[in-house]
Amino acid sequence: MIVSHSKTKTKKSTSNFLLPDRKKILEFLNQSGRPQTRKELAVSFNIIDVEIRRALGRRLKAMTQDGELIRNRRGSYGLLKKMDLYKGNVIGHPDGYGFVVPEEGGKDLFLPAKQMRTVLHGDNVVARLVNTDKKGRREGALVEVLRRANHKIVGKFFRENGVSYVVPDNKRISQDILIPSLDKNKVKQGQYVVIEILHQPEKHRQPIGKITSIINESNDVNMTTDIAIRSHELPYKWPDEVIQEIDGLTENIDSDVLLDRNDYRNFAFVTIDGEDARDFDDAVFCEKYKNGWKLFVAIADVSYYVKQNSSLDDEAYLRGTSIYFPDRVIPMLPEILSNGLCSLKPNTERLSLVCELDIDSNGKVKESSFKKSIICSHARLTYSEMSEIVVNRNEKIREKYSNLLLHLDNLYELYKLLHKNRKKEGLIDFSSIESRFVFNDNGGIDSIESVKRNNAHRLIEEMMLIANIAAAKFLEKYSKYGIYRIHETPKEEKLKDLHILLSKLGLSLESTDKPTTKNYSSLIDKIRQREDEQMLETILLRSMPLAVYSDSNKGHFGLGFPAYTHFTSPIRRYPDLVVHRIISGLINKKEKLLAYDNNSMSELATHCSNTERRAEDASRDAIQRLKCIFMKDKEGKSFHGIVSSVTSFGLFILLDDLFVEGLLHISTLPTDYYHFDPIAHTLLGERNGKIFTLGEKLIVKLIRVDIDERKIDFELEHII
């Protein structure tokens, strides 16, 4: 009895000294009103046990490293917001200065070149506000570097006066990297190399690195993509663990898997994609009834093959998304999955997660559900073929697909109704133009041409949108957590400038307080056929924030949906894969087996937003370099173009039909003093009264192309 009593007492006393979680520590520091030492925190939380006190120290250190707390010179821990400190990422400028973009939002902190000596572009830091000028611009000073963003850098190698160094290709990194030893690298002057940073920059020392590889100069296109891949540190090689995991995958589907799946193999599903598509992750099928339609959107069941916490899953998470370059794709999943087992190829049985939607004759979704299924695509159609079948009604092609005509016509009829409804509710339809490179047999660039969209593109978009909405509503209704695609309302500051500009032009958004999607849509309809249509569309687009991923649903302003997520592309987007796992877990009543919670969802959403931006930046860098390569032999020639952007230092000109943009520097304009109006997007000549504005048509001469700097410069020849 004595022993038993002693054990009970010990257990009871230990439970009083449990380690407080991060939330409790933050709440206590917020209430205490002053920074606290580790000892003071231990006393406040009644922690006596030595091991738990040490664990508290480790937790405080981790919170400091994550930027949740700051440790002052006295060894006390405090909250950043209470100490006028800001956590954020550094944005470097080619001229040596930079900015800290606060994670909590608000205006950036300017960092002078002296402050930028110890950091590089992308580093995560804590900074202090030191000054605010009369115009409200804030200057900061670095307090601590939390996380380094650059571990490998691509750049050009140079050796001068016995000193070797690399000039980073990313111009936001303004510091050269010293190379103290070449080891066995036979690198030539001006060659592109990949370096590993051995020592990050310090106050009195430049960053130091070593060359790990020399980039192959096989041809301009290959080298351009290689530079972009390595500059943005994109994972492009499959780890051995992933190769081992996929080694045993086969085309065969175990019969046991089919026991709890709906058999839709006889349904006339079809895939509709581009001519050069290889991964088909969605297929559609539609039946028409007396009172409406039944739409089936089948998405490849990637979650069946990519198990949570597997090596394959870890790599997919790391990549976050497939990345599309002009000459190649870096897939999120290995080819055996992306182009094989998870690709809904024609006449091939595939595991799918099917979204079923009952839609009434008015185009309203009355009911939606999700089913684990097996399907067999009946045809692989291109957008051009689908357009010929249902829009142009080409008899020859319709005859080729005669057994599918009823279902294809149903799809098109439903699309027209859904699209019509969206236009009524407020469809923001910017007239953007996509372009693509046309390569010759030698790998050179023959031309840059526009990608024409037709109603078949819009049909698939409409079907994917309606499935994504259904998935978001399903998560909201049945799951404790989820990942959503959100697009918030334009910020007040942006709207203020927009209202001023529109009022000068006799236009308005109708709502001056909180505009709706319908307000934007209505304005876009009004500006159609105006000469300044392109200018106004550009300004409207720039007034809106970027769409991101979030663990909480805040709606999608641009699409006008109160709830939206990404469900339809799990082959190439990690958030879609997560949504599939949650929905499948709910269907199979195994949601509790998923290692997700609200905290992990928040981290996952931030990570996926970051990998999306990284992919866009890498692709944009490669495209801009290729455009410079394409334009290099055209120096001295004249082109028609339109002003696509106005800045204090000049005009950016988009060339007609070439989809290439370059700078018309202010010094090349007719001699005058020019004043920049950021609200009206104009440059006004003080003496001659000439106003240069967005959308203005000009004839310019190409005077310089710098491929390394990715810059194209024009001079003005004539105002049209």
Helix residue spans in 532-597 (DSSP H): 533-542, 574-587
Longest dimension (CA), the chain: 102
Nearest CA among 177, 191, 270 for reference residue 223? 191
**333 backbone dihedrals φ, ψ, rounded to 5°:** -120, 150
What domains lie within the chain, and their CATH numbers?
15-79 (1.10.10), 84-147 (2.40.50.140), 152-215 (2.40.50.640), 241-482+564-620 (no CATH), 635-719 (2.40.50.140)
Element (H, E) at 243: helix 240-246
36 forms beta bridges with 77
3-state per-residue secondary structure call for 189-200: CCCEEEEEEEEC
Element (H, E) at 702: strand 697-706
CA distance 470 to 357: 8
CA distance 420 to 56: 60
Query: How far is residue 95 from each of residues 171, 363, 381, measured CA to CA in Å?
Result: 9, 55, 51
CA distance 321 to 608: 8
CA distance 565 to 447: 37
The reported pLDDT for the residue numbered 573 is 97
The reported pLDDT for the residue numbered 512 is 67
Strands (E), 42-135: 69-71, 77-79, 85-92, 98-102, 109-111, 124-132
Specify the residue for token string 């799918």.
Answer: 352
Burial of 418 (0-12, 13-18, 19+ CB in 10 A): buried
The reported pLDDT for the residue numbered 17 is 55
Q: Are 695 and 534 in contact (CB under 8 A)?
A: yes
Q: Which residues of 155-179 are buried (b: 16+ CB within 10 A; e: fewer)?
A: bebbeeeeebbbbbbbbebbbebbb
Give the global pTM. 0.87
Q: What is the DSSP letter of 709?
A: T
User: Could you tell me whether strands 262-264 and 365-376 are parallel, antiparallel, or unpaired per DSSP bridges?
Assistant: parallel
Q: How many Cα atoms within 13 Å fall on the side-chain side of residue 379? A: 16
- 3-class DSSP assignment, residue 424: helix
Nearest CA among 676, 682, 667 for reference residue 715? 667
Low-confidence ranges of the chain (pLDDT < 50): 1-16
Burial of 600 (0-12, 13-18, 19+ CB in 10 A): middle
CA angle 94, 652, 685 (to 5 degrees): 105
Burial of 325 (0-12, 13-18, 19+ CB in 10 A): buried
Q: Are 194 and 202 in contact (CB under 8 A)?
A: no
The reported pLDDT for the residue numbered 16 is 47
- Give the count of beta carbons closer than 10 Å to the beta carbon of residue 150: 21
CA distance 503 to 167: 47
Query: How far is residue 412 from each of residues 285, 423, 561, measured CA to CA in Å?
Result: 11, 16, 22
First-to-final CA distance of the chain: 101
| Side chain identity at residue 3, one-letter code | V
Q: Are 351 and 374 in contact (CB under 8 A)?
A: yes
